[in-house]
Homo-oligomer: A and B are copies of this chain.
Amino acid sequence: MPGALEGVRIVDLTTMISGPIATMMLADQGADVIKVEPKTGDLVRVLGPSKGDRTATFLAANRNKRSLVLDLKTDEGLTALRKLVATADVVVQNFRPGAAERMGIGEADLRKERADLIYVSISGFGETGPYAKKRVYDPVIQALSGLAAIQADRDTGRPRMIRTIIPDKLTAVTAAQAITAALFARERRGEGQHIKLSMLDAMIAFLWAEGLVALTFPGGEKHAARAQLSQDLIYKTKDGYITVGAVSDDEWKGLCAALDQPQWLEDERFNTPSGRVVNAPERLALTQEVLQHKTSAEWLSVLDANQVPCAPILDRTTLLDHPQIQANQIVEEQSEDDLGAFRLPRPAARFSRTQGEIRRHAPHLGEHTEQLLGELGYDQQTIDELISVGAASNYG
């Protein structure tokens, strides 16, 4: 089934995570995404355990794209890129601010090739300000956005990093949405534009609605109540860990029944929602005391029967086998000659009419160089010359 973005062409100059995952989401929805790489390739091709020129992360961030290797420091390479941009709807880059302009591929340069181009600049910190030219890594954004402080140790106050690169990936999804909105606007009005998005902006906007919400009312920063959800609702059972939540009165009654603790219903500390929040430490300790005596499966069964929200804590060894994850068919097993079998999650949003499909796995470095140069009108002799002078490279 043709995807929602079928017919859209995107020139993807990005590397690492925030750009590539943004364009992969659009590729999954049918866009023709051309990943333009230097001869050394996107660093993610080699960061971590790899099979040839692709790591597991590269596979998960670059499927449905084609790879074109150009040396943009050569006149010929830059000319080929300009020809490509003339055929494109969107260009995305995540160089540090100022770098694209120095390379001759800034917005003003490329708009000459295509007047209604959507040009996208993803940065770490924004275009101005003291951090604008600094190198960015995900933990730096976790530090500056308040995320590391939100996760601080309750006893020592020591901040903690989240052990997965939330800011990088959140920026990717935010960028994908903005690009799609600009495509819609161009479809209606015929105009391209320049979208700018920084990881820092994306992360603060994302955290705000409850993570930073205590900053909303000036003067109210200190006495904002700790959110219910900020409690660590994890319990140890006889054989593992589960999460259990009981927010509403109905759920609290269900919990007392499931745990066979009818006297908790009479306990004045716990018989109102606000009481349960105020007396959370005692409530959680009592709950933990009971839950340690049976297995996770026993508790989950009886909690389910009493309609109490609950789940096992899944890890890498149990996640793929969970019946809900299997029922949703989230993880698909695929294969390719060079890779053997491998797994990837399917795109999360399911479209009844424009589902899109996996048309190709993440490309080898330069796998489509000759094909794409041919599509741009270069004859074989010229392609061979471009490759021989190093302005372009192909795979193998």
Residues of B within 8 A of A17 (CB): 209-210
Residues of B within 8 A of A208 (CB): 60, 344-345
Indicate whether A227 reaches chain B with its CB closer than 8 angstroms. Answer: yes
Identical copies in the complex: 2
Given contacts A176-B177, A323-B129, A354-B185, is CB(A313)–CB(B234) below 8 Å?
A: no
Give A271-314 as 1s and 0s: 1 = Cβ < 8 Å from B's Cβ atoms.
00000000000000000000000000000000010010111111
Q: Which residue, A29, A161, A195, A205, has most C-beta atoms of chain B within 10 A?
A: A205
A215 and B313 contact, CB distance less than 8 A: no
Residues of A in contact (CB 8 Å), total 151
Residues of B within 8 A of A125 (CB): 324, 328
Measured CB to CB, the closest approach of chain B to A2, in angstroms, equals: 9
B182 and A164 contact, CB distance less than 8 A: no
B197 and A160 contact, CB distance less than 8 A: no
Indicate whether A183 reaches chain B with its CB closer than 8 angstroms. Answer: yes
Cβ-neighbour of A325 out of B200, B218, B233, B352 (below 8 A): B200
Given contacts A184-B4, A243-B148, A316-B149, is CB(A161)–CB(B234) below 8 Å?
A: yes
Residues of B within 8 A of A115 (CB): none
B345 and A210 contact, CB distance less than 8 A: no
B317 and A221 contact, CB distance less than 8 A: yes
CA distance A170 to B17 in the complex (A): 16
Indicate whether A394 reaches chain B with its CB closer than 8 angstroms. Answer: no
B169 and A325 contact, CB distance less than 8 A: no
CA distance A236 to B230 in the complex (A): 24
Q: Which residue of B lies closest to A159 (CB)?
A: B313
Given contacts A5-B184, A195-B351, 7 further A-B contacts (CB under 8 A): A4-B185, A49-B225, A126-B324, A143-B313, A165-B211, A195-B352, A215-B320
